[in-house]
Chain A
Amino acid sequence: MFQKIYPLLLVLFIGVIYAQDAPPTDTEDQEDIEATEDPNAAPENQGVAPKDQSTATEEAMPAEDAKEPEKEKKSKPPKIQKPKTQMGTLLRGVVVPGLGHVYNDNKRIGYLWMGIEAALLAATMNYKSTYDESLSDYNNYQTLYWTETDVALLLLYKEKRDASRKDMDAANTNYQVFSGLLAAGWLYSAVSAYLEGPGTPKYLQRKRQALSRMDMNVAFNHEQQNMQLKFSVPLR
């Protein structure tokens, strides 16, 4: 069984290697970074006027100048948001099924995949457990069959052993099917997330659709005693 995990680990390893070397592809997010990294960009407290002149004067005093570097050291640098990449999507999809879709901002599909894979994993573990129990029963009855000298009892043990074997065969078949579905679903979700990842036409189309979605609200105004409709359309 464990030998079959090695190809999956190999895929994971290759995914990690590629993810580290992958160049950014998403042009939209690149703009955000440029804006954040711009040295001329306005600081966070821009627009907040000093309380009064005396405060401004005090800040200019040499005693305060000594404290400023400490403040600068303590203040964290602005967090740089890395651009989303297709390889990042693939890597997340390989590590956790559905996480690649969530990373692509396709959360509904991502959570759906997580649910499906969790159900398949539960079913696989259940059938593995059933198989182990049946195997234990089979071995017990096999030992009893070998050691019994009473003909009636040894035939009874043989019958029970054969019944355990049937259960074991059925559980093994189900275990094989569900583990295959689990693995196939896992890989399918990872690959489909990769193909719909940042930079791809589908990803851009979905982003455009999300941006152009009209926001519409209906509410009852108690003061004017009438229904009101409010909607906004993004111009970008």
Chain B
Amino acid sequence: MNMIRYIPIFLLILFSCSEDLPEDVNNNPLDPNQANENNFSTPALVFYPHEINPLPGNDFMVEVFAMQVDSNAGAHMQIQYDQEKMHVVDFAQGDFYSDASDMLFYFEDDSASGLIDIYTGYLGVDSSYVSGTGQLATITFNARVDWETVISFTENCRLADPHNNDIEILGFGECAVNAE
């Protein structure tokens, strides 16, 4: 009979309340501490956001970032997309070179092959450069129909220092687009 006294001790675990703790999601593509976990090294070219779910027929924006670059004076980005599933609506220059007195921003959209070329950087003969992470451009797309696709960089991208030397790009990000 006295064993009944010990039943509450066993019920302690049963009745103790606890909440389900959320899991940390470190999925910001611009987080330098998560670059290795996201399978790329820096300096890198990345899209923000790296996942997007637009409605079919609606516009959506993708930002292009240079991440953890050192002494950067100019960039050429070649971006590939599926021209049957979306088309480019607009371009806008980023603020990475915003302190330049003269700035280059030129873009070309080959909608037949689904390739975008963007040239941006400092103009002139001075040795202006920037370092760190910054926005190079913003591209607005329009989703045509229901689909899933990826916007990616090609191997023809290039970052240059003030002396027009190549800065090695160690990582390329992708943007997964799921129109539904």
Give residues in A with beta carbon < 8 Å to B.
Answer: 1, 4, 7-8, 124, 128, 131, 135, 138-139, 142, 145-146, 148-149, 151, 154-155, 158, 161-162, 165, 168-169, 172, 175-177, 179-181, 183-185, 187-188, 191-192, 194-195
Knowing A4-B17, A154-B30, A195-B5, say if A142 contacts B25 (CB, 8 Å). yes
Q: A154 — which chain B residues lie within 8 A by C-beta?
A: 28, 30-31
Nearest 9 CB-CB pairings of A with B:
A180-B16, A183-B15, A187-B8, A179-B17, A184-B12, A176-B18, A188-B8, A180-B12, A184-B8
How distant is the Cα of A10 from the Cα of B12 in the complex, in angstroms?
Answer: 16
Contact in complex: B14, A1 (CB < 8 Å): no
- Chain A residues contacting B128 (CB-CB under 8 Å) are none
Which of chain A's residues has its CB closest to B16's CB?
Answer: A180
What is the chain B residue whose CB lies nearest that of A8? B15
- Specify the chain A residue showing the minimal Cβ separation from B29: A149
Task: Please give the distance in Å from B35's CB to the nearest CB on chain A.
Answer: 11
Determine if B16 and A176 form an interchain contact, defined as CB atoms under 8 angstroms apart.
Answer: yes
The answer to whether B31 touches A155 (Cβ under 8 A) is yes
CB distance from B50 to the nearest CB of A (A): 11
Contact, CB under 8 Å: A172 / B18 = yes
Q: Which residue of B lies closest to A145 (CB)?
A: B28
Cβ–Cβ contact B18 & A183, under 8 A: no
Q: Are A191 and B135 closer than 8 Å at their CB atoms? A: no
Q: Which positions in B face A, CB cutoff 8 Å?
A: 1-2, 4-5, 7-9, 11-19, 21-22, 24-28, 30-33, 48, 63, 65, 132-133, 135
Give the chain B neighbours of A192 by CB distance below 8 A.
Answer: 5
Q: Most chain-B Cβ atoms within 10 A of its Cβ — which of A139, A183, A191?
A: A183
Secondary structure at the A interface, as helix, strand, loop or mixed, is: helix
Cross-interface CB contact of A195 among B4, B9, B18, B26, cutoff 8 Å: B4
Asked if residues A179 and B132 are in contact (CB atoms below 8 Å), the reply is no
Closest approach, in angstroms, between the C-beta of A127 and any C-beta of chain B? 10
* Contact present for A183 and B11 (CB under 8 Å): yes
> A149 CA to B9 CA in the complex, in Å?
51
Interface pair B17/A149, CB less than 8 Å apart: no
Q: Is the CB of B5 within 8 A of A184?
A: no
Taking a contact as CB atoms under 8 Å apart, the answer to whether A158 and B26 are in contact is yes
Check A184–B33 contact: CB distance below 8 A. Answer: no
Residues from chain B with a CB closer than 8 A to the CB of A131 are 19
Having A131-B19, A154-B31, A185-B8, one finds 12 other A-B pairs with CB under 8 Å, namely A4-B17, A142-B25, A148-B28, A149-B48, A151-B32, A155-B33, A172-B18, A180-B13, A180-B15, A183-B8, A183-B11, A195-B5
Which residues of chain B come closer than 8 Å to A165, judged between CB atoms? 21, 24
Min CB gap B21→A, angstroms: 6
Residues of A within 8 A of B18 (CB): 1, 172, 175-176, 179
What is the bound-complex CA distance between A4 and B18, given in angstroms? 10
**Set of chain B residues within 8 Å of A177, measured between Cβ atoms:** 16
Tell whether, in the assembled complex, residue A179 and residue B15 are in contact, meaning their CB atoms are under 8 Å apart: yes
- Contact in complex: A4, B22 (CB < 8 Å): no
> What's the minimum C-beta distance from A133 to chain B, rounded to whole angstroms?
13
- Distance in angstroms between the alpha carbons of A138 and B30 in the assembled complex: 20
- Assess the B5–A1 pair: CB atoms within 8 A: no
Q: List 18 A-B contacts (CB under 8 A).
A: A4-B14, A4-B15, A128-B17, A142-B25, A145-B31, A146-B27, A149-B48, A161-B24, A175-B18, A175-B19, A176-B17, A180-B16, A183-B16, A184-B15, A188-B5, A195-B1, A195-B4, A195-B5
